[in-house]
Structure formats: C-alpha cells, structure tokens
Amino acid sequence: MERKPFAITLDPGSSLANHTGNWRTMRPVYRDHLPPCNHACPAGENVQGWLYYAEEGDYERAWRVLTNDNPFPAIHGRVCYHPCETACNRGQLDEAVGIHAVERFLGDYAIQQGWRIEPGPPSGKKVLIVGAGPSGLSAAFHLARFGHAVTIYEAGPKPGGMMRFGIPRYRLPREVLDAEVARVEAMGVTIHLNRRVEDLEADIKNGGFHATFLAIGAHLSKRVEIPGRDVGRILDALSFLKSVETGEPPKIGRRVAIYGGGNTAIDAARTAKRLGAEEAVIVYRRDREHMPAHDFEVEEALEEGVLTKWLRTIRQIDEGGTLTVEVMELDKQGYPRPTGRFETLEADSVILALGQEVDTRFLRKVPGIEISDDGVIQVDETMMTGRTGIFAGGDMVPAERTVTVATGHGKKAARHIDAYLRGVRYVKPPGNPLATFDRLNTWYYTDAPHIHQPYLDRVRRQTTFDEVVLGLDESTALLEARRCLSCGMCFECDNCYGMCPDNAIIKLGPGKKYRIDYDYCKGCGICAEECPCGAIEMEKEIR
C-alpha cells in the first residue's frame, strides 16, 4: 500500500463521484420547434432544412432537401408569393430572409448542373393524372418517387398549365419552366399533350389505371354583363395571356383598360404595355389597399407605367371606345358601393380579369364526384373526391389559387394516392410546436442586411418580355442563406456545450449534435437561455 502523507487517510478521488444532477429541479431537453417559414409554406417545404445546407454552400444537398417536397424550385423562386417570408422571424429583427431568391438560385443552379432525381422502384401500379399544371406535375413527381407509373393527359399544346398560359414569361422564362418539367418527364412520367379528357371513366378503364388525380385548374374566365355595342373590343385576360404565349397576340390598340384587381389583371396590364399599348389602365372597384393583387406586383406594374383607376366600375362601353365608369366608395367593411357619379374613359380595348372558373362539364357524368354551387370539386382530407380512387387538387378544389398551393396539393394527393394504392392510410406525423420570435436569443445573430435582387432596366421592362427580376449568384445566395436564424432548429453553434458551467453537455460531433449528461446537469438553464434558436426547453424534473 502506498504511504499517504501525514493526516491523510483517503485516496485522492475525482469530483466525478459527486453526481450533481440530483440538485436539479428543472431539466433541459432538446426539442425541435417548427420554423415559421416551414409552417407557412403551402408546398410543405422544409425551408429551414434546405437553407441549412445552403448556408454551408452545399447547394446540391440543399436542393435535394428542397425537392423532397417541391420539384420546382426555379419556378417557385420566381412566382411563389412566398408566405414563408411574411412569416419569417427575421422580419421582426431587420428584414425577412430572401428565401425565394435563394430557392431560385438553387433551382437555376440545379438546372445548370443537370441534377436529376431518380424514380422509386416500380410498384406495378398505374396512376392517371388529368392536367399538366403545377398540381398535376407535382403529383406526378411524387408518385414517380413512390415508384408508380404515371401518365398525364393534358388538354393544352404544352405542359405547365397556368404556369405557361397564365403567368407571363417576364416573370417566368419558358426555358426555366421547360427544364423543370423535363426533369419530371425524365423520371418516366409520360405526358400526352392535346389530349382532352371527355369520358373520364372510359379513359381510366382503357388505360388500366389504379388511381386518378384530377388537376385541370380553373381556365374559364368569369364574365360580367356590360352593356355595349362594340363587343369585339372586349377580351378576357386568360385568353389574352394565352394568345401572347402561343404567338398570336390580338390587336389591342393604343389605350387598353384592364378590369379587375387581381394578379391576373396586373399581368394583363403589364403584358399590354409590352405589346405596345401606350396606356394600360387598371380599373378596379376598390382601392389599392383592398386589391387582391400582391403589393410588390402592383409596385412593379406602376414602375413600368401601368396606370390605375381605383374605385371605379365599368357601366357601359360605347362605340368608339368610350367607357362609362361609375365612381365607387368603400363602406366600413371595405365593400364598394355606387355613388351615382359617372366619368368617361377612352379605351381601344377592354380586358376583363374578373377571376376564373373550373370547367367541370366532363365531371358531371362521373358518379360520386360532388361539385359545389360555386363550381369547384369537393374533396375530403385525403384529397379524394366522392368517387373512390379519384383524387383532385389545385385550382379546381376549394383553396387559394396559387402555383404553390397547387404544388402542395400535388404532394399531399400523391401521399394519399400512394397509401390508397397500398391499401393503407397516410397519417401525417405530429408537428412540432411553432418556433415563435420570443423563443430566439437574437443577440447571437450578426447584423446582415437583406440582399435585394437586381431588376432589369425600366426601358427593357416596358418593351420586352425579358425577365424583370434577376437572380442572386453563388456568393450573394450564400450570404442571404446565412441570414437564416434557424428558428427552433439546432444548428450546432456550441453555445450549450460551451456555456455549461458543469460540462454536462456532451458534444457528439459535427452533424450529431449534443447529449445532456443528467448525472451532472444542475438545471441552471443557461443552455436554454443562451440557445440562439430556442431549441432547448426547461421542463419540470420529475423524480
């Protein structure tokens, strides 16, 4: 036995014998929270998840996480109204992260790099999709990844639906659209163009399809009765935009009035301007504040010289192009009401942009499919219509009509169709609690100003269909991605590991995060307090 010094009777020991964890009344736990961007995304994108890899400059991995949910980042980075950015917590700090700009960069970069996505192992099941718009193509993509054989019947001459015939090319260049559609086709999805479905049941039977997804959109323009002798001068916005796309734009004259206040009205006005109209005037019965069109699009239109007449309704169209408009006023609820005062307005043509309806004629003879009074198809929570095995989504079902909502419907329907084909039910995994701004410790984020995308110069915007908003490059996309606060999701900043006075947090290595050593954690709560993104919660200790 070793001789001990004077008056020492015990062997030296380590403090590790002293389990200070038993002091604890509160225990820290790592808990993921749902970032508000993810929560707001109609396509169900894991925005924080793909930004995480973009922050590292690992663009391929970012793109692959992104396309797990949405096959069309180059399209959405341009045309989505990005509710993610409205929800972004950074908006409360300085400005929201330019999520759409990074998404667009990833989409364009993927096209440039030629990245592809492989279909799943063949399931032996066949699915018919009616309509090659965002909803149908999104469903096709996800169903192909599940291994199902997908055939799309498309009534139009080219795929894309509203993305091609509704959204002008200055917002969505056609080579971008074509490239992202081609990637879905390369997964083995067959698209039959100019193939209108008249007899759905016969098509399903003849094709031997095990399930069907309807995604025909809403392509009929709503009309309004305006007394007028010169009806030849009246166009509907969708036909107008479509004719421009097919290369046969109608003569619209020098002065064009666009009637309506939605995004389609804005698109029609900006297109008219580009076709050479000296005056493109939007006539809308309410004011700018109450327009359904998105404010940034109104702003862009005004920049291009589009004129507006708020609080006006068209009452009559006379020969020679004189419009009689009535001045409206808004009541307390924001509804317009007539004032009895009238004005005149000169216009060589009038474009009606008053909304769209679904062409449900071919569905009326299909038993079980329920069509509501306002002409949309009723579906249950699995996107299935009243007819077993026939699902529907996009603009033809009750929902907000945007490309992103349609794309989200495609994914959701694909999951339920896949479950249906396998004879099970898809159950959405339970979500995490929302990562609200008050969970963040914003001290730790660097001040980083939002990087604005450049715009095409004004003259070219008024005379060409060149893309108006330009993209970020590799370095600016990186900086913008790094503005992400990673709300509610651990990004391994090591604050908990570094700031624990008791070394009670064990770092497991890059990508593996941390583990709490409850033998020594005293429950002081510094880790939770100093976690920048709010991914640690303090819970009552139960012994």
| Chain residues that interact with other proteins, rule: CB under 8 A | 8, 10-20, 23, 55-56, 443-448, 479, 482-484, 486, 491-495, 497-504, 507, 509-510, 517, 519-520, 522-526, 528-530, 532, 538
Closest to 286 measured CA to CA, from 276, 298, 277, 268 = 298
Q: How far is CA 520 from CA 102, 226, 499, in A?
A: 43, 79, 14
| Closest distance to other proteins from the beta carbon of 468 (Å) | 28
Minimum distance of other proteins from residue 522's CB (angstroms): 5
Which residues 6+ apart lie within 8 Å of 259 measured at CB?
A: 224, 265, 283, 284, 314, 350, 351, 352, 353, 354
To other proteins, the closest distance from the beta carbon of 512 in angstroms equals 10
Q: Report the residue number, 266 or 528, with the smaller CB distance to other proteins.
A: 528
Q: Which is nearer to other proteins, 10 or 427 (CB)?
A: 10
Q: Which string of DSSP letters, residue by residue, matches 493-543?
A: --HHHHH-TT--EEE--TTT-EEE-TTT-----HHHHH-TT--EEEEE---
Residue 239: CB partners within 8 Å, gap ≥ 6?
Answer: 221
Distance, CA of 379 to CA of 388 (rounded, Å)? 11
Residue 476 beta carbon to other proteins: minimum distance, rounded to whole angstroms: 11
Helices 174-185, 134-145: axis angle to 10 degrees equals: 30
Shorter beta-carbon distance to other proteins: residue 90 or 171: 90
Q: Are 346 and 354 in contact (CB under 8 A)?
A: no
Q: Return the number of the residue (212 or 495) whose C-beta is nearest other proteins.
A: 495
Which pair of structure tokens corresponds to residue 405?
């909502």
As beta bridge partners, residue 342 has: 326
Least spacing, CB of residue 68 vs other proteins, in Å: 22
Q: Which is nearer to other proteins, 46 or 135 (CB)?
A: 46
How far apart are CB 14 and other proteins at their closest, in Å? 6
Q: What is the DSSP string of 149-168?
A: EEEEE-SSSSTTTHHHHTS-
Contact 71, 141 (CB under 8 A): yes
Give the count of beta carbons closer than 10 Å to the beta carbon of residue 169. 19
Q: What is the dihedral of CA 389, 393, 399, 401, to 10 degrees?
A: -170
Q: How far is the CB of 250 from other proteins (least distance, A)?
A: 50
Provide the token pair at 160.
Answer: 């894309």
Nearer to other proteins, 206 or 446 (CB): 446
C-beta of 419 vs 493, nearer to other proteins: 493
The minimum distance between CB 540 and other proteins, in angstroms, equals: 15
CB 407 within 8 A of CB 43: yes
Q: Whole-angstrom Cα distance, residue 426 to residue 196?
A: 31
CB 34 to other proteins: min, Å: 20
Minimal distance, residue 19 CB to other proteins, in Å: 7
Is the Cβ of residue 73 or residue 523 nearer to other proteins in the bound state? 523
* CB closer to other proteins, 56 vs 370: 56
C-beta of 315 vs 482, nearer to other proteins: 482
Distance CA(74)–CA(192), nearest Å, equals 24
